[in-house]
Structure 1
């Protein structure tokens, strides 16, 4: 049985890493942090923001609402405030369907 490298999960991500994940500027990350109270990064002694996986998941949700679905910031805030659980469930379904679509495309290309 081949040796598998243990998967190491990062605890904290810098603002640059988060910006790279979403392909946006760091200023947008800082702006969304101020606008949405569900994002609460830790700050070290130097004042650098350290984002957890939960923060990144919340960014995914905000990114989906604002960038992919075209909602305004006010509309996204309202949606998250009124029914965050339903919004998260819908986002998970969309994300899973995109993964399935990508898998089917890969299978089609290999045939």
Structure 2
């Protein structure tokens, strides 16, 4: 379903027309879904103009998938959506953070052997000597944090 839909631009607010195009649903259907799904509460401004946020666009795509692709009824989709939201809430409460769009490392991956050499190439001609030393220091700190994260991940995967 999502493969046929356009990517969602990096914006804070979307008009009902934009959401209609992004989700492949007519504006009157979106207004109807607001009545049926309590999770959809777009901000309303002057003249009752609706402004949807990114997470609401994702929710609408999920509703569309449940209704159009998976064949749920409105009532069934409402129940399924409530269940999905509850599961996500429980995961957050238990510290299981979902990292959408982030490449996940395999548990079998270890610290790369060339780790200390895996730094970004800087064009140091654009930095003064003071700027370069602070950039170099910041990069060293980032490397240290990355190494510690690898070690924590290895420790956690050993306990499971």
TM bin (shorter chain): 0.5 to 0.7
* Shift of residue 47, structure 1, vs aligned partner: 1.0
The aligned runs of 1:53-64 (5 Å cut-off) are 53-64=54-65
Corresponding residue of 1:47: 48
The number of equivalent residue pairs is 82
| Larger radius of gyration between Structure 1 and Structure 2 | 2
How much is the aligned-residue C-alpha RMSD, in angstroms?
2.3
What residue is the counterpart of 1:79 in the other structure?
80
CA distance in 2, matches of 1:54, 1:39: 10
| CA distances 1:69-103 after superposition (whole Å, capped 9, x unpaired) | 0100000111122343558xxxxxxxxxxxxxxxx
> What is aligned with 2:24?
23
Judging by fraction of residues, say which structure has more helix: 1
* Greater relative contact order (Cα < 8 A, sep 6+): 1
Structure 2: distance between partners of 1:77 and 1:28:
15
- Offset, 1:23: 2.0
How far apart are 1:17 and its partner, in Å? 0.6
Q: CA deviation at 1:42?
A: 0.3
Give distance in 2, aligned partners of 1:62 and 1:83: 11
Runs of 4+ aligned residues of structure 1 deviating over 3 Å after TM superposition are none
Q: Deviations over 1:20-74 (max 9, x none)?
A: 1122211001011111011110011221000000110110111111111010000
TM-score normalised per structure 2: 0.46
Q: Does 1:11 align with 2:12?
A: yes
Deviates more, 1:18-27 or 1:29-38: 18-27
Gaps of 5+ in 1: 1-7, 88-111
TM-score, normalised to structure 1's length? 0.65
Runs of 5+ in structure 2 lacking a partner? 1-8, 89-160
